[in-house]
Amino acid sequence: MSSQELVEIRDVNFAYDSRPILKGINMTFPRGRLIAIMGLSGCGKTTLLRHIGGVLKPTKGYVKVDGQVIHELDQDALYLMRRKMGMLFQFGALFTDMTVFDNVAFQMREHTDLPEEIIRDLVMMKLHAVGLYGTQNLMPAELSGGMARRVALARTIALDPMLIMYDEPFAGLDPISLTVVGQLIRRLNDALGATSIVVTHDVQESLKIVDYIYFVSDGAIIAEGSADDIRASGEAFVHQFVYGEMDGPIPFHYPAGDFSKDLGIQSRGADA
């Protein structure tokens, strides 16, 4: 692992009981880059994030973050490593009984000994960075979906993490909010000098902002490259996914018998 690589995934296999989820995954995430992991639901994308965060342990292979093999860390070392990570959960996952201010301040209070006056200034800076200074006294129920996602993003970057992971950050957003969140992800990655990993189904928005893409299908990488590489991919499944085609390797029709026979069309035609 070179000094330029923050995350290295080598020959990672993982299964739930006897059901294989990841099959020989190899990925590298250079420092300062924004990289997407794409694929259908259930292909193993979020499972990869859980391995990087140390929630799951591979059955084979390893995940290194900042030069350390994650599954070999003891609890204290893993706790310290996670302080350097930020995670934006799907749909934001804000604490519903806390104000916007307290949501963003949560990690600062949990992981540091900073005085409240410093925490206040930092929270205001994070909210300003996502365009939501002035919302600090609102409750999550008073926010729109796009605003809630941006507050969650402010909370994610509260401790200026070296690695930021996004699990479906665009899910459920209207077109304007989707563009705003996408541009924020790009700008914050560059401003913080962080490495960002975006797990997403949203092809078009992701291709606008990412540096590199890994395309996962059935637990294996079937394509990788720049946005232009993925758009021009000759892999049929990737082409269908990127361009939203109705039929292809993922068929429109459920595999079944002859529909005309089920309706009795052939027999009626013979009688006529």
**Which domains does the chain show, CATH number per domain?**
1-84+163-168+195-243 (3.40.50.300)
Q: What is the pLDDT of residue 136?
A: 93
Q: Note the helical H segments in the chain.
A: 45-52, 75-82, 100-111, 116-129, 145-156, 175-192, 203-209, 227-231, 236-243, 259-263, 265-271
Per-residue pLDDT of the chain (272 residues; tens, 9 = 90+): 556 889 999 999 999 888 888 999 999 999 999 999 988 777 788 899 999 999 999 999 999 999 999 999 999 999 899 889 998 887 668 889 999 999 999 989 988 899 999 999 999 999 999 989 999 999 999 998 888 989 999 999 989 999 999 988 888 888 888 888 889 899 989 988 999 999 988 888 888 899 999 988 888 898 899 988 888 888 877 887 777 777 767 766 677 777 777 776 555 555 55
Inter-CA distances, 197 with 14, 32, 55, 93, 210, Å: 20, 11, 16, 18, 9
Residue with tokens 């140390």: 54
Q: What is the pLDDT of residue 265?
A: 57
Instruction: Give the bridge partners for 30, in sequence order.
Output: 5
Query: 161-199 b/e with 16+ CB inside 10 Å = b?
Result: bbbbbbbbbbeebeeebbbbbbebbbebbeebebbbbbb
Identity of the amino acid at 143: L
Cα separation, 154 vs 132, in Å, equals 9
Cα separation, 37 vs 92, in Å, equals 19
